Amino acid sequence: MNNLINDIKKELRANMNGVASAHARQTEDYRVNWGVELPRLAKISDEIVKNMMPASSEEISLRALAQALWNESTRECKILACMLMPAEDFVEELCDIWAESIRTEEMATMFCLYLMPKLRYASTKAFEWIARDEKMLQNCGYLTLCHLMRKYPFSEEAEEEFLDQASASLDNRYAIKALQIYASLGEDNARKVKKVADYL
């Protein structure tokens, strides 16, 4: 595993963006940040999947690799972990552990973009997180809902809970973003968001 991680780091270093890396070091809390852009990370992720054989007892699984990458204090390794983790292997307990370890808004965004929408329990987790007091977990919850509501309509109960929670979280820009997306999905939704705004 260590050899594979080192090979991946060499590839990341070779694709380093100096300007982006210097800027990001000033604004984000990563021990290492090479500033590699997302399209290149997606290609590296595809190459890793293509080059890895189906896992056996002697071989490294994608799940184990993704977990090892997530444990690195490196921006690019963590993003690759989100891209590589197989949804069927990402149990709810592990999902909570990853989410609770997130320290930057960028990583919350990557986690919710590349991994959360693939999970069968994503909606359940999102609603759990928006009801929590921890700001970063709330961010993850609202970001996840932003992706899910574009694909699936809310049930009446979920819709009511979303509007209640979001209206109480207007100091959170991701709650506002989720309300904006929800309102854009239909006139009835827009009227409900307007009622929330008028009530406040």
Chain centroid to Cα 26, Å, comes to 22
The greatest distance separating any two alpha carbons of the chain, rounded to the nearest whole angstrom, comes to 61
Q: Which residue(s) pair with 74 in the sheet?
A: 32
- Sketch the domain layout of the chain as residue ranges: 1-89, 92-200
What average pLDDT values come out for the chain (200 residues) when binned by 10 residues?
Answer: 91 81 58 90 94 60 96 95 97 97 96 97 98 96 97 93 94 96 95 79
pLDDT value for 53: 58
Return the structure tokens found at 132: 């929590």
How far apart are the C-alpha atoms of 5 and 107, rounded to whole Å?
20
| Residue 127 C-alpha from the chain's centroid | 15
Architecture of domain 1-89 in this structure:
Alpha Horseshoe (1.25)
- Residues in CB range of 110: below 8 A, 6 or more apart: 78, 79, 82
Q: What is the pLDDT of residue 31?
A: 79
Give residue 8's pLDDT.
94
- For residue 74, the SS3 value is strand
Cα(25)–Cα(199) distance, integer angstroms: 42
pTM of the full structure: 0.89
Give the whole-angstrom CA distance, residue 191 versus residue 100: 34
Radius of gyration of the chain (CA): 19
Count CA atoms closer than 13 A to 33's CA, side-chain side: 20
Residue 65 pLDDT? 96
CA 158 to CA 154: how far, in whole Å? Answer: 6
Q: Which residues pair with 32 in a beta bridge?
A: 74
